[in-house]
Chains A and B, each alone.
Chain A
Amino acid sequence: MTEKKTSLSRRNFLRNAGVTAGTLVATSTLPSFNAVLFAAVKRNTKGPWYGIAIDIEKCIGCGTCAKTCKIENNVPQEPFFFRSWVEQYTIRKDGSLKVESPNGGIDGFTQSVPADQIEKTFFVPKMCNHCAKSPCVQVCPVGATYETEEGIVLVDEKYCIGCKYCIQACPYGCRYFHPDKHVADKCTLCFHRIKKGLNPACMDNCPTKARISGDLNDPESAISKFIRTKNVYVLKPHLNTGSKLYYNALNQEVR
């Protein structure tokens, strides 16, 4: 009996040792498997790490952000190309939902649902979430879509081959194909302004200060405080995109 026990425990030991060694080997080689374990990559903790926060309770649906964005970034004016837009959600008394975004909200909104049928209505500004585990970065076959050290997702327009795979991969519809440049295009969080210490144009021009962006690594930044003090939520959290666009008072109907 005792003999059996020893052999058993020896076997257990061997097995445990094997498992430990295996785990060690596996974890030490993990970085080289980044290709498969894309979403397991850790975030940058040194230097600024940008995120965005939008307060739905403050948004009045004026569309200034969307309009400003097109001007600031030379986005084609036609109503098919947006780096930033606003959606109007209306929940009727019967529970049904109506969502609209005519010209991305640039010209403002009119309410198409009769007032007596409305249960509640609100505006949701949308833009690139600058995801930390961004599906668009993951799928770009040449690395033209990439994430900067500051956690900003950009497209290198001199490098993009225009395969549009990233447009398919973005769950939020934040990318479009530039009709003149023939490459993928999207919000840069006004990288050219951030580099000069300015805020993105949409943030500066929002009349109600419903949107802010800033350093998530700095606990004293406005955005860190916003996230700490409000009930924030990201879009489509089940997709594990590592979205860094935090909404206050986001209704579950919003997708």
Chain B
Amino acid sequence: MNPEFEHLYQALSKVDGFIYPNEIELSWSILIVLYPFITGLVAGAFILASLERVFNVKSLRPTYVIALLTSFAFLLVATMPLIFHLGQPLRAWEIMMTPHLTSAMAIFGFVYLWYLMIVLLLEIWFDYRYDLVLWARESTGVKKWLYKALALGSDDISPKSVKLDQKLGYIVTVIGIPSAFLLHGYVGFIFGSIKANPWWSTVMMPIIFLFSAMVSGIALVMLLFIIINKVRKQKIDMLCLDTIAKYLFYIIIIDFTMESLDQIHRFYEAEESFEIIQLLISGHLNFTLLVMQVGIGMFLPLTTLGILQFYKPAEKVRQLLYFITGVLVLIGIFFMRWNVVIGGQLFSKSFLGFTSFKLSLIGPEGFLMASIWLIVPFFILAFLLWLFPPWKKTEMEH
């Protein structure tokens, strides 16, 4: 037996019921689970930053720059899992060169570039321009030149120029909010528009993706806010932390409502695919969906945050609870992506049976590689925080 196909023979022996013979192997694996997870963090973190700016939520001010840089760090990595899952990674650029416009996937390159170039980079640049000029003047050696280059030749620190930065930055943010919605709603559409797959094909998919993205992005920034302050041995601004947690709480409620609505609708209408989906949920997905996504990732955080809205224990306790909640939420959203992507491929499109999926440890689609794509953004973020320390920025009114 060719060892290349060993895992397929194993999967073949585990087929449950009838599946089409081409359906043994899952086409999309862990890398495509990461793709919506990472883009979700990008969009979510950005939306949190915009909340502060556009709706002028002053208490969130300390998280503004952290959220922007987080969003940026993850955005830089977002395409990697996508490109590496391709059978022909070297042809990836064809998506941009010769996009086939009826395909939801073809637009990704443009949505991505728009978001990266126009929205995020511009917003960060306008926010940092003044400081870049100052830092370029103060620093020496390589750093001086780096800041100079990043300031793109600008050397104006007059109040007028700062005013202009803020005005333009504000405009970018306003454009940015729909863009963030577009970015992630669009990722949902990639799945939601596949009529062959009843587990994916729902108009709710973009909306669910969007709200779960906000949930994960806000949770991540909350975690990072706690970690960064701990590492820098700073006192945590509790008003800020409580406010993020409050937003997280509300968005989880909306997300939970949307997802429940979707499932209730699916079950109430009970179409042709009803039985296989029921089996999917109670069988193959019972752990990842019922325990990890709903139990650990939603109910626990919702209950904890809910209680904390009324009852406020000591700061240390609250910080710990927020930290744990943040981690749980991120785990939950990861499994939400897992259940969509992997779950949607476990049952046959004949609705008569299931194939199985085993995550390998090594290889481009293995656990280790996936972990790398999840860890790299944190290193990028650490680097960004070192190069553009938000705490050394000049405080400015938004």
Contact = CB atoms under 8 A, between A and B. Distances in A.
Whether A associates with B in a native complex is: yes
Interface of A: 34-35, 38, 78-82, 85, 87, 97-101, 103-104, 126, 135, 137-143, 159-165, 167-177, 179, 182-184, 239, 255
A161 B22 contact: no
Given A161-B95, A163-B86, A164-B27, A142 B195 contact: no
A170 B196 contact: yes
Contacts of A35: 101-102
Nearest to A180: B4
Given A142-B106, A168-B27, A170-B196, A182 B98 contact: no
B259 interface: no
B78 to A, nearest CB: 15
Contacts of A167: 22, 27
A104 B23 CA distance: 12
B18 A162 contact: no
A255 B272 CA distance: 11
Nearest to A175: B22
Contacts of B108: 141
Contacts of B102: 34-35, 38, 137-139
B349 A162 contact: no
Contacts of A81: 22
16 contacts: A34-B102, A80-B21, A82-B21, A101-B21, A104-B21, A140-B103, A141-B106, A142-B106, A143-B100, A160-B87, A161-B87, A165-B190, A172-B20, A173-B23, A179-B5, A183-B87
Interface string B148-177: 000000000000000000000000000000
Interface in B72-118: 85-88, 91-92, 94-95, 98-106, 108
B25 interface: yes
Nearest to A137: B102
Contacts of A173: 19-23, 348-350
Nearest to A83: B22
A78 B94 contact: no
B319 interface: no
A68 B300 CA distance: 57
The interface residues of chain B, by DSSP majority, are classed as loop
Interface in B181-233: 190, 193-197
B27 A161 contact: no
A80 B22 contact: yes
Contacts of A161: 86-88, 91-92, 94-95
B106 A182 contact: no
A54 B103 CA distance: 31
Given A139-B194, A141-B95, A177 B105 contact: no
A201 to B, nearest CB: 19
B30 to A, nearest CB: 14
B195 A162 contact: no
B367 to A, nearest CB: 20
B196 A169 contact: yes
A159 B104 CA distance: 18
Contacts of A101: 18, 20-21
| Interface-central residue, B25, B27, B92, B108, by most chain A CB under 10 Å | B27
B2 interface: yes
A78 B2 contact: yes
B190 to A, nearest CB: 8
A174 B195 CA distance: 15
B12 interface: yes
